[in-house]
Homo-oligomer: A and B are copies of this chain.
């Protein structure tokens, strides 16, 4: 029987999920591909022994043992982080191994170098597991929607942040408390910065934009804001406006320029993305031919990620068996057609806004604030003042009509400088139904 031989670097949670999936699905994969997909070598510096079902695989402490094994076809990197993952991937590519990674941080920062090295060495790069966990989002975008100019990408791409916002929405619990619970339950990491500050979501948006538009989009292109300043009161107001607050990745395609932003967003309850709850992910595309498509599923976890990595292994394995390497270009467009993106400056964005301004409860404050908005041409749709306790600052909540981000920034700078405002205003962009 034909055999596809896989070497794995990193036997942590995701790596052991890959091994388990290959083990459990072995017969199914044979019936689907006619080939045995075998994990022949594992490199990890933290384990002494492989599980029983991997007794035919060799465990090594040195990743080089994997590149140097002439029998290995595909090297899977599942250690995460920038180094030594980057060096390992580039070394594997130099050794003419096809590579698979779930490493969105690495791809969104050094993707260009990695993909160019792969082209130069005639090998494939699989990265289905880097975005949306087990959801076949990369394949759908590269192949299923091949006949589309992608007009927008919008998504909930971080399960931890979505879990926190869902808990805050359902139970009114403050952010810090939910985060602590999530950490205790293992849904959030000890250092949750990447998840809650939108950085992980930005990694994924950069990857999706790259293949959607055929442009090398990098992490530094994405304008990123997190959810750590969202309070239960913001969620309550969102409900009053018929919305839910979600941490969204958004890219609108304006032709010459494309938007690239990650931030908390008020999403109308009628929108599919408002109804994605808990740790699930969902990615919404608008294609000029197909219209709106949404893909939903588990965005992380040992087995969902295993499902996606094995899909890549099989995809590349089929190309090895059929001698059809790079049958589909790694970045969806042929290398010679990949360009450099031009990102719309955030200052050019226009949308309706929600502002929550915490100010001393004094006469004239609302007049001062609304005067500032008026001077910057920001038209107010509604204002609600709510004080929680006497002697505490009041929360002035303003829902604006469509306004320009540049004007909003200027207005908020002035408002934050007011003596009555002790803490900076909270600003949440509102998704409109045409988005």
Where the two chains meet, the residues of A that have a C-beta atom closer than 8 Å to any C-beta of B are: 21-22, 24-25, 28-29, 31-34, 128, 134-136, 139-140, 143-149, 214, 272, 275, 287-298, 301, 303-304, 306-308, 310-311, 314-315, 318-319, 322-324, 327-329, 332-334, 337
Q: Which residues of B contact A301 (CB under 8 A)?
A: 291
Q: How far is the CA of A397 from the CA of B297 in the complex (A)?
A: 36
Q: Closest 3 CB pairs between A and B?
A: A136-B144, A147-B310, A322-B324
Q: Residue A290 contacts which of B33, B304, B334 (CB distance < 8 angstroms)?
A: B304
Q: How far is the CA of A146 from the CA of B306 in the complex (A)?
A: 11
Give the most central of A25, A28, A29, A308: most B CB within 10 Å: A28
Q: Which residues of B contact A22 (CB under 8 A)?
A: 147
Q: How far is the CA of A281 from the CA of B333 in the complex (A)?
A: 29
Tell me the minimal C-beta distance from A301 to chain B in angstroms: 8
Tell me the minimal C-beta distance from A8 to chain B in angstroms: 15
Please report whether the interface of chain A is mostly helix, strand, loop or mixed according to DSSP.
mixed
Are B337 and A31 within 8 A (Cβ)? yes
Q: How far is the CA of A291 from the CA of B17 in the complex (A)?
A: 13
Are A21 and B296 within 8 A (Cβ)? no
Q: Which residues of B contact A298 (CB under 8 A)?
A: 290-293
- Which B residue's beta carbon lies closest to that of A302? B289
Are A303 and B291 within 8 A (Cβ)? yes
Tell me the minimal C-beta distance from A255 to chain B in angstroms: 14
Q: Residue A322 contacts which of B31, B134, B327 (CB distance < 8 angstroms)?
A: B327
Are B145 and A307 within 8 A (Cβ)? yes
Listed by A's residue number, 20 A-B pairs whose Cβ atoms lie within 8 Å are: A22-B147, A25-B148, A29-B147, A32-B146, A134-B289, A135-B293, A136-B139, A144-B308, A144-B311, A147-B307, A147-B314, A272-B296, A292-B296, A292-B297, A293-B295, A294-B295, A322-B323, A323-B323, A323-B324, A324-B324
Tell me the minimal C-beta distance from A169 to chain B in angstroms: 13
Q: Which residues of B contact A135 (CB under 8 A)?
A: 144, 293
Q: How far is the CA of A327 from the CA of B320 in the complex (A)?
A: 10
Tell me the minimal C-beta distance from A305 to chain B in angstroms: 9
Are A25 and B289 within 8 A (Cβ)? yes
